[in-house]
């Protein structure tokens, strides 16, 4: 190692250590609340993610209420079977015995004395539920992606600020020590000037076909599931997620449809593009130019997504079916380009001195010798295993409930990161370049694009506050 390189590496090591210590102090803390404290938590959404959040809650948090529009999901949460029998064993033997059950989250907020809520419902419900909880005086942990539209995310921030509630977005890679070190390395100049970041080309959502009406199960309140979205005839392919297969594909259900979500670009993209924002130091802003590249759409479906989204030809609208795979390029005001690139599975940061490859709980550099010192294995271990991927992130949130401090993934951060995802999907939908003002959160001289920043909501599901 040359003298200049060794000096630079020592400088970066000191800078990274300082950054991670300051930013990570709350994450490693577990003593903000006294052992005698009892945090009363309501859980909204008892699907896969809701169950894992319950299992990952620190012991000081006690689930006193469950809410799901499908009573069957609450039943199997209280009396778990299969893969969840072990994961939820402590809950089933403890809090699950006396927990209250509600189909309508609004009734739960009115009827039960709570301190906080966990929101793991489908994406189109996130903002309305979080706003109602804030207005009820509760702190909130809301799963990513934060919002269905850019405008509703900003409204939630305004309500949370006005009510003084602590809200953590479930972007748990913000709490992963490996990812934090990798992002700090990029942000503090470890790669030199960043010119390009490549991310996977996450597919966008579809308009659902005209599914034939199926009988609504007695345990399901279909009106509540649809919520602010249009009330459509019930069909299980519209909403049931990850519980059955179609042509070998584990069905994505509500996550696939535009009425309820932004599909993989807002689902997995909310994690990856959050790391881009973090590493580039763009947490309070975002890209200013967004360009779709229809001419770069792969001629065959990207194999990366073959088990996550239906193949080409599934959608009724050929243009929509094609554009959901459209690569998108975004440019930040200070120069770096973010490119959704077909065929790749991880983030790639391109800098003057080399490249950094990042995925969940790992990164590597090329050349290898420019990398910062490795993270202590004890800081890596808590993130290994499906059932443990939220525990430190939940602990950070709970610590902040006592200190009233800023969690590691606050609303503004979650909103800005999912805005990048929304911009990508909007560029695909419109099929043309866009210019974005991240200060006003409006498009530049583009009323047609501005009209897509929000959506109408059904009566009785308007945003509160």
| Distance between CA atoms of residues 401 and 395, nearest Å | 10
Omega into 145 within 30° of 0, i.e. cis? yes
Which segments of the chain belong to CATH 3.30.360.10? 177-382+411-450
- DSSP β-bridge partners for residue 200: 341
**According to the model, what pLDDT value does residue 83 have?**
87
Contact between 87 and 123 (Cβ < 8 Å): no
What confidence score (pLDDT) does residue 25 get? Answer: 40
- Evaluate if residue 464 carries a pLDDT over 60: yes
Residues near 184 by beta carbon (within 8 Å), at least 6 away in sequence: 15, 16, 19, 20, 23
Per-residue pLDDT band at 377 (split at 50, 70, 90): confident
Q: pLDDT at position 44, please?
A: 98
For the residues 271-275, what does the mean pLDDT come to? Answer: 98
Could you list the beta-strand ranges (E) of 185-332. 194-200, 245-246, 249-250, 287-292, 328-332
Mean pLDDT of 325-339: 95
Nearest to 461 by CA among 279, 162, 228: 228
Looking at residues 258-266, what average pLDDT do you find? 98
Reported as a pLDDT band with limits 50, 70 and 90, residue 37 is: confident
| Average pLDDT of span 210-224 | 97
Residues of the chain with pLDDT > 90, as a percent, come to 83
Is the pLDDT score of 22 beyond 70? no
420-444 per-position pLDDT tens digit: 999 999 999 999 999 999 999 999 9
Residue 237 corresponds to which tokens in the numbers above?
């392919």
CA–CA dist 79, 92 (Å, integer): 6
Residues 227-242: tens digit of each pLDDT: 999 999 999 999 999 9
Is residue 9 within 8 A of residue 192, CB to CB? The reply is no
Helices (H), 29-104: 48-56, 71-78, 84-87, 89-93
Distance (Å, rounded) from C-alpha 192 to C-alpha 201? Answer: 25
pLDDT band of 282, cuts 50, 70, 90: very high
Pinpoint the residues of the chain covered by CATH 3.40.50.720. 39-172
193 pLDDT higher than 70: yes
Retrieve residue 135's tokens.
């207005």
**pLDDT computed for residue 42 by the predictor:** 98
pLDDT of 296-327, one tens digit each?
A: 999 888 888 999 999 888 888 899 999 999 99
Q: Does residue 27 register a pLDDT over 50? A: no
User: What is the pLDDT of the chain when averaged over all its residues?
Assistant: 92
CATH class of 39-172: alpha beta
Per-residue burial over 184-216, b = 16 or more CB atoms within 10 Å of its CB, e = otherwise? bbbbbbbbeebebbbbbbbbbbbebeeeeeeee
Whether residue 37 is preceded by a cis peptide bond, meaning omega within 30 degrees of 0, is no
Q: In 3-state terms, what secondary structure has residue 327? A: coil
Helical H segments across 283-407, by residue range: 318-323, 377-380, 391-403
Instruction: Report the CATH number of the 177-382+411-450 domain.
Output: 3.30.360.10
pLDDT bin (cut points 50, 70, 90) of residue 338 is very high
Residue 135 pLDDT > 80, yes or no? Answer: yes
The pLDDT value given to residue 19: 45
| pLDDT at 384 (0 to 100) | 78
Provide the CA 260 distance to its chain's centre, in angstroms.
Answer: 14
């Amino acid at each position: 190692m040359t003298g200049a390189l060794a000096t630079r590496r020592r400088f970066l090591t000191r800078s990274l250590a300082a950054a991670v210590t300051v930013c990570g102090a709350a994450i490693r803390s577990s003593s903000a609340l006294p052992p005698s404290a009892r945090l009363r938590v309501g859980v909204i959404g008892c699907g896969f993610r809701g169950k894992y959040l319950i299992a990952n809650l620190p012991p000081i948090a006690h689930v006193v209420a469950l809410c799901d529009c499908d009573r069957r999901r609450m039943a199997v949460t209280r009396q778990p079977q299969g893969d969840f029998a072990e994961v939820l064993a402590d809950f089933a033997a403890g809090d699950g015995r006396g927990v209250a059950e509600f189909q309508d989250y609004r009734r739960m907020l009115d009827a039960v004395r709570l301190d906080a809520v966990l929101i793991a419902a489908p994406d189109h419900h996130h903002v309305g539920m979080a706003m109602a909880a804030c207005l009820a005086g509760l702190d909130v942990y809301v799963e990513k992606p934060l919002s269905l539209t850019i405008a509703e995310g900003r409204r939630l921030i305004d309500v949370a600020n006005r009510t003084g509630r602590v809200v953590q977005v479930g972007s748990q890679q913000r709490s992963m020590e490996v990812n934090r070190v990798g992002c700090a390395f990029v942000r503090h100049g470890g790669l030199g000037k960043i010119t390009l970041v490549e991310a996977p080309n996450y597919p966008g959502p579809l308009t659902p076909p005209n599914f034939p009406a199926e009988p609504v199960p007695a345990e399901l309140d279909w009106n509540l599931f649809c919520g602010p979205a249009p009330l459509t005839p019930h069909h299980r392919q519209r909403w049931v997620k990850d519980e059955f297969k179609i042509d070998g594909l584990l069905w994505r259900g509500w996550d696939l449809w535009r009425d309820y979500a932004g599909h993989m670009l807002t689902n997995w993209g909310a994690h990856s593009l959050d790391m881009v924002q973090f590493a580039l130091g763009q947490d309070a802003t975002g890209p200013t130019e967004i360009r779709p590249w229809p001419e770069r759409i792969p001629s065959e479906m990207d194999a990366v997504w073959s088990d996550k989204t239906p193949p080409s030809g599934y959608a009724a609208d050929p243009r929509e079916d094609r554009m959901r795979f459209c690569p998108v390029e975004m440019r930040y005001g200070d120069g770096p380009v973010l490119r959704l690139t077909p065929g790749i599975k991880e983030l790639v940061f391109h800098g003057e001195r080399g490249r950094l490859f990042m995925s969940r709980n790992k990164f590597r550099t090329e050349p290898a010798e420019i990398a910062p010192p490795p993270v202590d294995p004890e800081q890596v271990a808590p993130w290994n295993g499906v059932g443990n991927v939220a525990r430190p992130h939940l602990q950070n949130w709970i610590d902040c409930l006592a200190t009233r401090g800023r969690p590691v993934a606050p609303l503004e951060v979650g909103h800005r990161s999912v805005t990048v995802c929304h911009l990508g999907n909007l560029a695909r939908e419109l099929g043309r370049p866009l210019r974005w003002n991240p200060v006003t959160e409006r498009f530049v001289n583009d009323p047609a694009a501005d009209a897509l920043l929000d959506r109408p909501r059904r009566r009785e599901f308007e945003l509160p506050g």
